[in-house]
A and B are shown apart, each in its own frame.
Chain A
Amino acid sequence: EAGVVQSPRYKIIEKKQPVAFWCNPISGHNTLYWYRQNLGQGPELLIRYENEEAVDDSQLPKDRFSAERLKGVDSTLKIQPAELGDSAVYLCASSRTGKISPLHFGNGTRLTVT
């Protein structure tokens, strides 16, 4: 099966600019996650979708971050405006619905805010 696809792979922007990341999960995976990973740390959940519904967005900084998953398949994560502290790797993952389902991660988008 094709893996989780993310784009772009790298993004460099100036602070205060907007940026968007795209994720295409594995076909048939109803659960989709966006994680942020800072250097030397484990991933931190930003938002989790079950189909098109955001069921866990408690860690999403809603003043500047937004996400959508139209039609319950692809998802986009947006930051507007970006801040220097947003520099990180943004990871998308997907799984089948259920507590005990393996996660499949994309290669991530490395964001650098200058």
Chain B
Amino acid sequence: KNEVEQSPQNLTAQEGEFITINCSYSVGISALHWLQQHPGGGIVSLFMLSSGKKKHGRLIATINIQEKHSSLHITASHPRDSAVYICAVGQETSGSRLTFGEGTQLTVNP
């Protein structure tokens, strides 16, 4: 069992739909990161959070420390949101090392 698991692996939505990507982890963490990767592109950090909720534009990230679960929500999705979304956790015991999920491939159709 991976220490960081994301679901779904693939997600196809219509433009305008509300999207949720989930991340569960099994270790104690110091912080959780949500990252975005476009095809052929580098990785962009969307959020880093250790508690509660953060919002940036149409993106919302939440984390429940007790349940070891985080969600990334996209409101009013757009084709340009199509990318791979990666959850990564910084473990309490490993300093700055991140453990990555395998990513969720999101495709938003017009």
Contacts and interface: CB of A to CB of B under 8 A. Distances in A.
A24 to B, nearest CB: 14
B97 A45 contact: yes
Interface residues of A, number: 28
Nearest to B87: A42
Interface in A70-114: 91, 93, 95, 97-108, 110
A102 B48 contact: yes
B11 interface: no
Contacts of A100: 30-31, 48, 50, 90
B22 to A, nearest CB: 15
A113 B45 CA distance: 29
B31 A107 contact: no
A31 B96 CA distance: 9
A48 B45 contact: no
A29 B10 CA distance: 34
A102 B103 CA distance: 18
B43 A105 contact: yes
Given A42-B86, A42-B88, A42-B103, A103 B98 contact: yes
A6 to B, nearest CB: 8
Contact of B101 (A42, A45, A91, A101): A42
Interface of A: 4, 31, 33, 40-45, 48, 55-56, 91, 93, 95, 97-108, 110
